[in-house]
């Protein structure tokens, strides 16, 4: 790491608090299984998802400092670049990926417009949502790196779509 910490305890405390800020909201699933009143469960889940993680991030920022946070961010982004799928994919892989990308929208519309088909208390609703999320995430890898660039272009103001032959670069 470029940023150096003279106090290793501060560094590890900051690192642990940063990681805990990301992991702690998942404990809400465990709290939901406890034999507590619904109000107490809601309060605990609210605190572990909306209160404590923010405080842990602030503690991490204070302990790590700007240079170390930038280094950690750069390493995480470099790791994400490593798992990014390759660029071009075949036509059939792209079509299957697009179907898998769009198919998870169906349960959303069913739950919105025909909630009796997947009621809130039904365990099937959870399984359908988990399957739809897994399918959506899998489709992103199936579609390849070029699709990731297209998806990224949605959030870039100056990005433009180009249909047809590639324009020749001017040198």
Please state the domain count of the chain: 2
What would the two tokens of residue 24 be? 């702690």
For residues 13 and 73, membership in a common domain is answered with yes
Identify the residue with better confidence: 54 or 163.
54
What is the pLDDT at residue 4? 54
> Does pLDDT of 135 surpass 90?
yes
pLDDT digits (tens, 9 = 90+) for 40-99: 988 988 888 888 999 998 888 888 888 887 888 888 888 877 776 666 788 898 899 999
Q: Are 127 and 143 in the same domain? A: yes
Q: Residue 149's closest CA among 161, 138, 137? A: 161
> What per-residue confidence (pLDDT) applies to 136?
92
**Do 58 and 117 reside in the same domain of the chain?**
no
pLDDT band at residue 171, thresholds of 50, 70 and 90?
low
Model confidence pLDDT, tens digit, residues 94-116: 899 999 999 998 888 888 788 88
Q: Are 67 and 2 in contact (CB under 8 A)?
A: yes
Among all chains, which residue has been given the structure tokens 């769009």?
102
Do 71 and 44 share a structural domain? yes
Q: Please say whether the beta carbons of 60 and 18 come within 8 A.
A: yes
- Let me know whether 79 and 18 are in one domain: yes
Residues 79, 139: one domain? no
Q: Same domain for 102 and 120?
A: yes
Backbone angles phi, psi at 6, to 5 degrees: -75, -30
Does residue 161 register a pLDDT over 70?
yes
pLDDT in tens, 6-31: 678 888 888 899 889 989 988 888 88
Are 41 and 77 members of one domain? yes
In a domain, 146, yes or no: yes
Helices and strands: H and E segment counts in the chain: 8, 0
Half-sphere exposure of 9 (CA within 13 A, CB side): 0
The domain containing residue 145 runs over which residues? 91-153
Residue 35 DSSP symbol: S
pLDDT of 102 reads 92
What whole-number distance in Å separates Cα of residue 140 and Cα of residue 84? 9
């Amino acid at each position: 790491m470029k940023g150096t910490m003279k106090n290793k305890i501060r560094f590890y405390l900051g690192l642990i608090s940063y990681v805990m800020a990301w992991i702690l909201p998942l404990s809400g699933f465990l709290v939901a299984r406890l034999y507590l009143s619904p109000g107490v469960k809601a309060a605990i889940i609210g605190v572990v998802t909306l209160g404590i993680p923010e405080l842990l991030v602030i503690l991490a920022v204070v302990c790590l400092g700007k240079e170390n946070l930038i280094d950690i961010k750069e390493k995480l982004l470099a790791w994400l670049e490593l798992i990014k799928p390759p660029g071009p994919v075949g036509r059939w892989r792209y079509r299957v990926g697009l179907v898998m990308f769009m198919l998870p929208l169906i349960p959303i519309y069913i739950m919105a417009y025909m909630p009796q088909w997947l009621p809130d208390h039904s365990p099937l609703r959870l399984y359908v949502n988990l399957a739809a999320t897994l399918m959506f995430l899998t489709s992103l890898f199936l579609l390849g790196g070029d699709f990731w660039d297209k998806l990224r272009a949605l959030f870039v103001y100056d990005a433009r779509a180009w249909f047809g032959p590639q324009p020749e670069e001017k040198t």
